[in-house]
Structure formats: structure tokens, C-alpha cells
Amino acid sequence: MQVTLNATLFAARVQLLLNAWNGANKSEEFGSLSEADALFLPAGDVAGEDEPMRKGTAFQTWLVGYEFPSTFFFFEKNKITFLCSASKAKILSQLKASNPPVPIEILAQAKPKDPPTDAMARFVAAYTAHKRVATLTKEVHSGKLVEDWKSALAASDAKVDVVDMSGAISAVMAVKDEEELRSVRLASNLASTLLTHHIAPKLETILDKEAKISHAAFAEQIESRLGSGEGENAKGPDMKVWSKGKGLFDVDWASAEFTYSPIIQSQSTSTGFDLRSTAESSQDNLAHKGFFLVALGMRYKGYCANIGRSFAVDPTKEQESVYALLLSLQTEVLSKMKDGTPAKDVYNHALAVVQREKPDLVKHLPKSIGFGMGLEFRDSNYVLNAKNERPLKSGMIFNLSLGFQNVPDANGKTYALHIVDTVKVTSDKGVCLTDGTKSIKDVMFYLNGPSDDDEPKASSKPKKSALPTKASPVKNKVVGNKVLRGKTRSAAQEDAINSAAAKLATHQRELHEMRQRDGLAKYAEEGSGHGGKEVKGWKRFQSYKGEGGLPREAETLRIWVDRKNQTVILPINGFAVPFHINTIKNAVKNDEGDYTQLRIIFQTPGQLAGKKEDTPFEDPEATFIRSASYRSTDGHRFDTLCSQINDLKKEVNKREQQKKEMADVVEQDNLVELKGRRPIKLPEAFVRPALDGKRLPGEVEIHVNGLRYQSLSGQKIDLLFSNIKHIFFQPCDHELLVIIHIHLKAPIMIGKKKAKDVQFYREASDVQFDETGNRKRKYRYGDEDEIELEQTERRRRQALNKEFKFFGEKLSEAASTSTGDTVELDIPFRDLAFEGVPFKMNVKLQPTTECLVHLSDPPFLVITLSEVEIVSLERVQFGLKQFDMVIIFNDFSRSPQQINSIPTSQLDDVKNWLDSVEIPIGEGPVNLNWAPIMKMVHDDPYQFFQDGGWSFLSGPGQAPEVCKDCSWHFLLPLMKFTEWG
């Protein structure tokens, strides 16, 4: 890989260093620099992976953008000298291009087999020419260059006084520029997203199911969300989690990493709670009650962010009040973290707040409440404690860690709480860059309802209702503890409907505002463009590598169709000119008396509008040949040529179409079969899509990293857990089939067709109980026989449901264990089902916890709700018996899913369901032409959200604003108007 250094950035940062050194930035923090004649920054061999980043490495990275092991930097006020190997010297020479503030000299040492150079001697001479040199005295380096340096320095007679410059270097790097702040913000967003959208829901699932998992195993699962492994076993980042974050649309995932392994602690941690950032997750199993502390640090392009939260199950009122104090304490401390405030004042203010609110907690407050961050995770020169007098400055980044440790509870045990956030110092106050999952309702879980420890226990006998007396008349009658208002039943129902509609409208406004905010935040840094997606580029193709590659037929200077090389060779001005078939649109033949004309039309910009109008060209302003025409008396030959050209064009187009269709098909790894014990099986199951040959049942087996279906004829289908996105179980209650349905992340090939949904099923009814008069029915008469048959059928359905559900649960458990991700067994909610036409037939659509599905008959429909941006309800108007639903996905390059002809009687049910799963709803009386709308959104999403985003869809209660803004006007040409009454 070729290393490119940012020479301009290097020059700017060297200037900052020189300003601090020369006293332009007069401050006590730079005192160690002012006394030094030169600055020495050595670097030995690469440090171990478990060793934290050294300040020297951070300073080196800050200056040149990369770590250079076995390299010495020497700064003089009129020169910078590098001592390094020849290969590094070639890279560092790029720094001379930006006209640095002082000249640069690079001394390259000789390679082992080459004759020695005088580089070391010259570097030692430059070093010993000064009386006092500042360096990082606490850092110890090793390696050949360091040993050679020590030997050369010992051989010199000059004596040099060495002073420590770590405090001054921290001050130089402490204030972050805009490029550094961008990396810190991205690291903060990564940490916040992982905590909010993976750790918190995962912890809630573990507590709800009382699953047994160790703290260390949970931490490993969290780390795997960023991807793991190398080569063929490499696993990319889990976009199911990261896609929910803000501003993570253009992340360079190779530059993202964990600062340390996530720290998970609970009441069962054998060593007790530890609020330090050096704590580790133990091998003890996670407790299911009490307090849980989570902390994780992310690093993006070297810059760190940290976040930590406390969770609790069934906390007491006292413990809730302690957490509430932590929340208010953070607000108070942030108000003090502004430009010019000494670090000790921040700590003392926190101490004073705790002393004022809960004096008994003062002894449980740690001795420091945070530290400076940047390329170093912990800068010891900027610790927030009672002794540090260094001032805070705008642009500094701090890890603010507030908490209480070893707090006793009513049972004689101890617990701990903490709130950790990444904070940016500004001129007014500190601003949290990490957010989410902080309020009491987000972190406090109640198994038996909120605690009432501080409330008096209610009497076991219910109190009788107070009866009205003459002395105290009441307006409402009280009957059986229910208040009857003076309204008719229909009026009360109308009030209830209006109240529900008002709540839905209010919630929908909030969801629309949230989508608007998220959209602006997501695309703000990108500005205009193609939504972070890959833009179409000019497709290059080559017919022949040179003139020698032309076929012999080209020598005749006649039109020739070379099918092998997909080229048409045309004679032009005495030359054989090849045209690749992709440059040709089509060929047309016309008869003109005794002559036949063959016209070959080429692909050029500015043709009639259509699907290929956006075909890119390298230089659209260039002159293009629209067509070439030839005339001959040999009409038969021109007939043949026209057919050959058009047939070749069709073949190439068909091949390209097939290639596009198969582009998303993945080639799976090999299935690792279970050894040592028999796999869990589901016998006598049929599969859809069906395999070639006779329709015969087979067995489904769960193995180590996937499942295998094997039919009686020996055909196999392997599905790997890493490619499974959803697992559904549809019982045979009110259905003809009992189903285990698997929805894949990427399609696979089954036979000659690709499939993204694979289904295993069994018929619920047995033919021996059919109403066709077979032997079991031949001599049966009367109601008793009918009842027995119904009971037998019911028992059979229950047994099938039990068998398939058990297999589905085992499948879900095996997939979760194998991938480290939770793959829940999802069951459709039949009570929420509604009818519609997603493809060509009217079918029953059923919501599940995570999806909207139709699984009974192919083609199947599986829509993941987390991937939905907004839903537009169309043709919603008085008098129509049906309406349509258009589902727009947050991947704007994906075509919306239309579900037509939903009965209007189910409109309220559909809206209530969509609202309950936090999906914004748009509503209108007409159908929109979504193809041009989505093209506009995809081409420039930032401008789209700046112009109001989805407000044109007129959400509930928003019609007046939409009409007032005239947001419909630019969409009028895109509407497909229905018949009006």
C-alpha cells in the first residue's frame, strides 16, 4: 500500500509547535519547552497490541498522520531532522512539498547488506550540539535503532541535560481542529449507536429470558458487531445495528476499532464493581437482578470516544434518587466545563453539588471524574481532580466519568452507578458528543412494576365506594367503582375515537419531526450528491488488444460481425474500424429500389428520454457519431447482417441482465457438520422453492454453522447461520400448512434459480380423514363420528405446532450461538392481519415483532420494519372501498414496495399498527408516481430534507401546513390521478 502524507497539515501543526516553543502562546503549560534548546522524539519497535498508546506515538501520528516505528524526530528552531531507514526516508520526503516553516533534513541509514552511512554520526552531532534537550523522559523504547543510538551517545564526550516535555506536548495536542473533531464525533456516534441499538436491547433480552451468559462472552458479542476474522472467514460490520446511527453513512470501517474490550459488570462480578477504565469483564455469569455497568470506547482514525451507562432491575426509590442525582450532577458539571476553567474547579464543583444534595455520598465519589482524550485514550496531564490547575480550552475533548462506588443498600450489600460521556469544551459549557439511553425510563427495568418500598402497604380488603350524601352532592354517579358520565353510549364512543385520533396525530408529528432531524443529520456532512451511494460510471470495454487482434475477415474491408469478441467491424475511409456491441443501439434495414440501406445506430447522449437517459459518458460535450449508413445491391447479405447485429445485441443485453440479477447472489462457505452426536432433525418436511424432480419430503438438520435440508432423492440445500436474517414460525391454526420460514440476508442459488426465502412445511390435514369416503369414513355415520374426527384433527394440529415450534426455537438458539447475534424466532400476529395485493393476488399480510410478512403462498413477502423510512397511504378518500399502501425504505436506491387494494374498513387498524412500531405515516387521496420521486431523493437526499423532506406526504393533522407551503405543486406531474366519483 502506498502511504500518502498530508504535507499541508504537517506544516500547520509544526507551526503550532513552534509558536508554543517560541513563546507566541505564552502559558505555564509550555514552560518545559521554553527552557529547551531542541526537542527529541524517539520511536523504537512497534509496541504490543495490549499496550496503551504512548504519548510519543500519539504526537508522531498527530504530526504526520501515521506511526513511524524505529524513527527519530529532532526539532531545532531552524531545522527538523529525521533519522530513519531508506524506505521511510522516501515516504517522509513528501513533507518537503508543502513549504514547511523550517527546513527538513532526512538522514537515511543503510540497509543491512549495504555499506554503512554517516547518518547516525550526523544525528548525534546535531543532538550533542545543544545543552538542554526536551524529550519524553518516562517512555522506554527498544529495538536496533535505539541500541545503536545509546551506543553512539555513550561514545560521545558531550553532556546534554534532558527535561521532560510531556505536559507541553499534551497542551499542544489538547485543542482539536475541525478535522480532529470530525473523527471524534464519528467515534462518539459509533459508541452511542452500539450502546443504544445493540447493548441495551440485548441486555433487556438477556434479563427477560434469564439467559446464562458470562460478562466476557457478552463483551465478545459486542465486539463482533464491528466485524471480525480475516481472509475468507472475515465478517464485516453488522449494518443491522450501524444503519440506525446518525452520521454513519460514509464511515471508513477499516479506520474504526475498539479502544478496549467492552467492560460489563453486574452484581455477580466476583471482584466487585470497578469504575476505572482499566476494569475487565469477568468470566462470571451475568446476574439477572441488581445493577449493571456497561462501558465501551471506540476509536476512529486514531481518535477516541468513550461512553458508559448504568442499568438496574427493580431498583428501590432511594437508588432511583441516587441515579437522578447523577443526572443532575452531570448537567451541573457540564456548565463548568467551559473555556478558561481550571480542571480542579470542575472537580470541586461536582464535590460541592454532592455535598449539598446528599452529603453521605461524598465518600463514594471517585478522586477524579474524568480525563482528556484524543489520540491518547487517557491524557494524564488533563485529569479532572482536586489538584490539577491546568485550564480547559475550547476544542478540548474530555471523558467525563461521574459515579458512586461501593454504595451500601438496605440489604447490607453494595452497588455502584456511573454515567460516562465524551464531552467537548466550548466557550459557554461542555457539550456531550455521546448521547442516548440515559433517562431513568431507559435504564431502569421493573419485573414486578415500580418499587413501592417507601409507600405504605395497602390494606388487603378493598375500600368501599363513598356514597353520595345530601350534604355533599356529586355530579357523577358512582356504581361499582366506575364513574358514569352524563353522556349517551354513542357520544362516549365518539369521544374515545377522537382521543385516540388525537394521540395518534401527536405521535405521528413527533415521528415526522424525528425523521426530518435524522435525515438532515445523516446527510448534513455529505451535502449535495448521490446520497453516499456509488454513482454510475463509464463502463469500459475492449474489442481487441491491438491491430494484430483483428480477424482475417477485416482485410476484405467488408462489414463483419465478430460474435466471439462481441464486435462489429465497419469499413470507414479504407480502414477496418471495430465497434463493440455496447456502443451500438440497434441496426435498421431499408429497401430503396434496387438498393438496400443498412443503418447502424450508436449509443449517444441526448437521445429520447427513458431508462437509459442517465447513461454516463466521460465527456458528454464531445462530438458523437449518431449513426453510420451503408448501401448495397446485395439485399440478402444486408438482411443477414442486420439480423446478426440485432441478435448479438439481444444476447449481450440478456447476458448483462442475468449478470445483474445474479450480482447479489452469495457463494456460501461449506457447512460444518455436527460430529459426536446426532443433530436435531425435523423429519418429513417439504421445501419451497421446490427441488427438481418428484415432490418428496425430506429432513432438516441443525449443524454447527448452519442447517441442511436433504430430500429422499439425495438433493441437498445448505443454509449458513451467517446468512440468516429472520426465522419465522407460522402455526397451522386456521391454515393448511405449518411453516418454518427462513429469510436470508443475501440470495443463494437453489437449482437454477436464486432464492432469498426458503420454507420448510408440512400439511396440517391427513388424507385418511378427508371427506372423500375412504375406508376410515366408509362405515361412520352420525355426529359422534364427526366430533371424533374434529378432535383428532385438533390434536394433530397441536402436535405439528409443538414439533415445528420446538425445531424453530432450537434453530434460533443455534443461529444466535454461532453468529453471536440474536436471531429471534418470530411468529406472525394473526389478530393484526389485513388483506392486500403486494404482487398479483389478494393475500393475508401479517405483522410480526420485526417484520410484515406473507408466508402462506409464493411469492413470499418479508419486509423488515427497521429498514422502513416512511409509509404512504394513498387513495384515502371518502367513498372508496379500498386504499393502497406504499412502503419507502431508508435505502433510497431500493424501489418502494406497493401493497394495493387494502379494504378501507381496515384503515384504522393499519394506521394504529404502523404508529405502534414507530413508523411515520403519510396520507393522501391520490397515487404518486414513485419512480421519479425516489430518483430525486436518491440523487440529492440532503437537498430533499432541506426542502422539507417527507412533509409533502401530508401526515395526519398536517394537511393545512402542507397545502399552505404548496409542497404538492412540484409533484403534480408525478401523480396518477384516480377517477373522481
Q: 3-class DSSP state for residue 489?
A: helix
Cα–Cα distance measured from residue 303 to residue 179, given in angstroms and rounded to the nearest whole number: 11
8 Å CB contact between 724 and 758: no
Side chain identity at residue 217, one-letter code: A
The pLDDT of residue 532? 47
Which stretches does DSSP call E strand in 337-449? 368-373, 379-385, 397-408, 414-425, 430-432, 444-445
The pLDDT of residue 219? 93
8 Å CB contact between 138 and 166: yes
Secondary structure element (H or E) that encloses residue 575, with its range: strand 575-580
Q: 3-class DSSP state for residue 26?
A: coil
DSSP class of residue 226 equals G
Cα–Cα distance measured from residue 496 to residue 677, given in angstroms and rounded to the nearest whole number: 59
Q: Directed axis angle between helix 144-155 and helix 119-128, to 10°? A: 60
Cα–Cα distance measured from residue 761 to residue 909, given in angstroms and rounded to the nearest whole number: 30
Parallel, antiparallel, or unpaired for β 851-854 and 843-847?
Answer: antiparallel
Cα–Cα distance measured from residue 769 to residue 763, given in angstroms and rounded to the nearest whole number: 13
Which residue do the cell numbers 372423500 mark? 772
8 Å CB contact between 732 and 738: yes
> Could you tell me the three cell numbers for 420?
460516562
Q: 3-class DSSP state for residue 675?
A: coil
* Burial of 350 (C-beta count, 10 Å sphere; 0-12/13-18/19+): buried
The pLDDT of residue 489? 53
Cα–Cα distance measured from residue 804 to residue 855, given in angstroms and rounded to the nearest whole number: 15
Cα–Cα distance measured from residue 256 to residue 258, given in angstroms and rounded to the nearest whole number: 7
Question: With helix as H, strand as E and coil as C, how does 817-864 read?
Answer: HHHCCCCCEECCCHHHCEEEECCCCCEEEEECCCEEEECCCCCCEEEE
> Could you tell me the three cell numbers for 254?
477499516
The pLDDT of residue 488? 55
Q: What are phi and psi of 699, to 5 degrees?
A: -115, 140
Phi-psi bin for 773: left (phi > 0), alpha (psi -120 to 50), beta? left
Cα–Cα distance measured from residue 901 to residue 881, given in angstroms and rounded to the nearest whole number: 9
* Cis-peptide into 920, omega within 30 deg: no
> Could you tell me the three cell numbers for 782?
352420525
Parallel, antiparallel, or unpaired for β 444-445 and 303-313?
Answer: parallel
8 Å CB contact between 970 and 927: no
Parallel, antiparallel, or unpaired for β 595-602 and 584-592?
Answer: antiparallel
Domains of the chain: 7-173 (3.40.350.10), 178-227+251-445 (3.90.230.10), 552-607+624-660 (2.30.29.210), 680-768+785-826 (2.30.29.150), 834-972 (2.30.29.30)
Cα–Cα distance measured from residue 222 to residue 189, given in angstroms and rounded to the nearest whole number: 16
Which residues have a Cβ under 8 Å from the Cβ of 81 and sit 6 or more positions away? 72, 73, 74, 104, 105, 106, 107, 123, 126
> Could you tell me the three cell numbers for 613?
437517459
pLDDT tens digits, residue range 3-29? Answer: 889 899 999 999 999 988 887 666 777
How many Cβ atoms sit within 10 Å of the Cβ of residue 13?
19
Cα–Cα distance measured from residue 428 to residue 414, given in angstroms and rounded to the nearest whole number: 37
Cα–Cα distance measured from residue 790 to residue 316, given in angstroms and rounded to the nearest whole number: 53
8 Å CB contact between 408 and 279: no
> Could you tell me the three cell numbers for 979?
377517477
Residues in the chain with pLDDT values less than 70: 1, 24-26, 48-50, 228-234, 447-498, 525-539, 606-620, 663-664, 766-783, 954-981
Side chain identity at residue 132, one-letter code: R
User: Alpha-carbon Rg of the chain, whole angstroms?
Assistant: 36
8 Å CB contact between 31 and 169: no
- CA 13 to the chain's CA centroid: 34
Q: 3-class DSSP state for residue 619?
A: coil
Cα–Cα distance measured from residue 16 to residue 10, given in angstroms and rounded to the nearest whole number: 10
Closest by alpha carbon to 403, among 313, 273, 297?
273
Parallel, antiparallel, or unpaired for β 737-750 and 753-763?
Answer: antiparallel
Parallel, antiparallel, or unpaired for β 79-85 and 72-76?
Answer: antiparallel
Which residues have a Cβ under 8 Å from the Cβ of 7 and sit 6 or more positions away? 94, 95, 96, 97, 98, 100
8 Å CB contact between 33 and 21: yes
How many Cβ atoms sit within 10 Å of the Cβ of residue 372?
26
Cα–Cα distance measured from residue 391 to residue 114, given in angstroms and rounded to the nearest whole number: 52
Closest by alpha carbon to 16, among 180, 176, 185?
176
Cα–Cα distance measured from residue 26 to residue 22, given in angstroms and rounded to the nearest whole number: 9
Give me the DSSP letters along 883-913: EEEEEEESSTTSPPEEEEEEEGGGHHHHHHH
The pLDDT of residue 446? 78
Which residue do the cell numbers 418428496 mark? 696
Q: Which long-range contacts (CB under 8 A, 24 or more apart) does 941-949 make?
A: 941/519, 941/522, 941/523, 941/526, 941/531, 941/892, 942/520, 942/523, 942/524, 942/526, 942/527, 942/528, 942/529, 943/528, 944/519, 945/516, 945/519, 945/520, 945/523, 946/520, 948/516, 949/515, 949/516, 949/519
Cα–Cα distance measured from residue 938 to residue 920, given in angstroms and rounded to the nearest whole number: 19
Cα–Cα distance measured from residue 789 to residue 316, given in angstroms and rounded to the nearest whole number: 56
DSSP class of residue 361 equals G
8 Å CB contact between 33 and 24: no
The pLDDT of residue 977? 38
- CA 676 to the chain's CA centroid: 38
How far apart are the two ends of the chain, measured CA to CA in Å? 68
8 Å CB contact between 936 and 531: no
Q: What are phi and psi of 565, to 5 degrees?
A: -100, 10
